[in-house]
Structure 1
Amino acid sequence: MLGSRVRGQTELLMAGSLRDLIPDDHILARVDRVLDLSWLRGEVRHLYAADGAGRPGIDPEAAVRLMLAGFLLGIVHDRRLMREAQVNIAIRWFAGYGLQEVLPDHSSLTRIRQRWGTDLFRQIFTRTVRACVGARIAKGEVVHIDATLIRAGVAWESLGERHVEAVLAQDAEPESPPTGAGQETISTTRRRAERDGKQTGRYKKVCLTDPEATMATNARNRRLEPTYKQHTAVDDGFGVIRDVEVTTGQANEGDHALPQVDAVAAVTGTAVKVVTADQGYAYGKVYGGLEERGIDPVIPAKKEPIRSRVPLRRFRYDARHDILKCPTRRTLRPTRRVEHGRYFYSRATDCRHCPIRGDCLSKGRVNKAVVVSDHHPALLRARRRKERWSKEDARLYQRHRWRSEGFHGEAKSWHGLARALRRGLQNMRIQAFLTAAAVNLKRLAAALLTLLGPWRSVSLLAALAHLFATVLAAAAPPTRSGLADCPA
Structure 2
Amino acid sequence: MLGERRPEQYEFFAGSLRDLIPDDHVLAKVSRVLDLSWLADDVADLYCADNGRPGIAPETAVRLMLAGFLLGIVHDRKLMRDAAVNVAIRWFCGFSITERLPDHSSLTRIRQRWGEQRFRRIFERTVEACVTAKIAKGEVVHIDASLIRADVSWEALATRWVDKVGAENPAEEAERNTKKTGKYKKICTTDPEATMATSGRNQRLEPAYKQHTAVCDEAGVIIDVEITTGEINEGNELISTVDRIEATIGTHIKIVTADAGYAYAKVYGQLERRDTSAVIPPKREPIRSPVPMRRFRYDAKHDILKCPRGKKLKAGRRIKHGRFFTSRAKDCRRCNLARLCLSGGRTNKAVVLGDDYPALLRARRRREQWSERDKALYTRHRWRVEGIHAEAKIQHGLARAVRRGLSNMKIQAYLTAAAINLKRLAAFIAALLCRLVADILNGPGRGPNNCSYTVVV
- Is TM (by shorter chain) over 0.5? yes
Q: Which amino acid is 1:54 matched to?
A: G
Q: Which amino acid is 2:319 matched to?
A: V
In the other structure, the counterpart of 2:90 is 92
After superposition, the C-alpha distances for 1:246-281 in whole angstroms (9 at most, x for unaligned) are 000000010000110111111011111111000000
Q: Which SS does the other structure have where 2:227 is aligned?
A: strand
Displacement of 1:195 in angstroms is 6.7
Tell whether 2:19 aligns with 1:38: no
Displacement of 1:426 in angstroms is 0.3
| Number of equivalenced pairs | 444
Q: Which SS does the other structure have where 1:226 is aligned?
A: strand
Displacement of 1:387 in angstroms is 2.0
Q: Which amino acid is 1:14 matched to?
A: F
User: CA 1:311–1:134 in 2, change beyond 3 Å: closer, same or farther?
Assistant: same
User: CA 1:85–1:257 in 2, change beyond 3 Å: closer, same or farther?
Assistant: same
Of 52, 57, 60, which aligns to 1:59?
57
Q: Which amino acid is 1:6 matched to?
A: R
Displacement of 1:412 in angstroms is 0.2
Matches within 5 A, 1:380-395: 380-395=361-376
In the other structure, the counterpart of 1:176 is none
Q: Which amino acid is 2:13 matched to?
A: M
Q: Is the 8 A contact 1:128 1:437 kept in 2?
A: yes
Q: Is the 8 A contact 1:142 1:235 kept in 2?
A: yes
**Which segment is superposed worse, 262-271 or 56-65?**
262-271
Displacement of 1:7 in angstroms is 4.5
Of 130, 137, 140, which aligns to 2:138?
140
- The TM-score, its normalising length taken from structure 1, stands at 0.87
Q: Which amino acid is 2:363 matched to?
A: A
Q: Which amino acid is 1:123 matched to?
A: R
**Which segment is superposed worse, 374-383 or 104-113?**
374-383
In the other structure, the counterpart of 2:255 is 274
Displacement of 1:162 in angstroms is 1.1
Q: Is the 8 A contact 2:177 2:185 kept in 1?
A: no
User: CA 1:143–1:454 in 2, change beyond 3 Å: closer, same or farther?
Assistant: closer
Displacement of 1:404 in angstroms is 0.5
Displacement of 1:194 in angstroms is 7.0
Matches within 5 A, 1:308-347: 308-347=289-328
Tell whether 2:340 aligns with 1:362: no
Q: Distance in 1 between matches of 2:24 and 2:184?
A: 52
Of 429, 438, 442, which aligns to 1:448?
429
In the other structure, the counterpart of 2:8 is 8
Q: Which amino acid is 1:69 matched to?
A: A
User: CA 1:169–1:452 in 2, change beyond 3 Å: closer, same or farther?
Assistant: closer
Q: Distance in 2 between matches of 1:323 and 1:167?
A: 42
Displacement of 1:480 in angstroms is 8.4
Question: Equivalent pairs: percent with the same residue?
Answer: 64
Q: Distance in 2 between matches of 1:130 and 1:7?
A: 53
Q: Which amino acid is 1:430 matched to?
A: I
Q: Distance in 1 between matches of 2:422 and 2:365?
A: 41
Q: Give structure 2 stretches of 5+ with no counterpart.
A: 446-451
Of 158, 182, 196, which aligns to 2:180?
196
Q: Distance in 2 between matches of 1:206 and 1:424?
A: 14
In the other structure, the counterpart of 1:425 is 406
Q: Which amino acid is 2:315 matched to?
A: P
Displacement of 1:310 in angstroms is 1.3
In the other structure, the counterpart of 1:79 is 77
Q: Which amino acid is 1:359 matched to?
A: L
Q: Distance in 2 between matches of 1:256 and 1:395?
A: 25
Displacement of 1:163 in angstroms is 2.2
- The TM-score, its normalising length taken from structure 2, stands at 0.92
Tell whether 2:22 aligns with 1:23: yes
Q: Which SS does the other structure have where 2:184 is aligned?
A: coil
Of 127, 130, 136, which aligns to 1:129?
127
Displacement of 1:6 in angstroms is 2.6
Q: Which amino acid is 2:97 matched to?
A: L
Matches within 5 A, 1:116-265: 116-167=114-165, 196-197=180-181, 203-265=184-246
Displacement of 1:391 in angstroms is 1.4
Q: Is the 8 A contact 2:69 2:416 kept in 1?
A: yes
User: CA 1:425–1:380 in 2, change beyond 3 Å: closer, same or farther?
Assistant: same
User: CA 1:158–1:340 in 2, change beyond 3 Å: closer, same or farther?
Assistant: same
Matches within 5 A, 1:388-403: 388-403=369-384
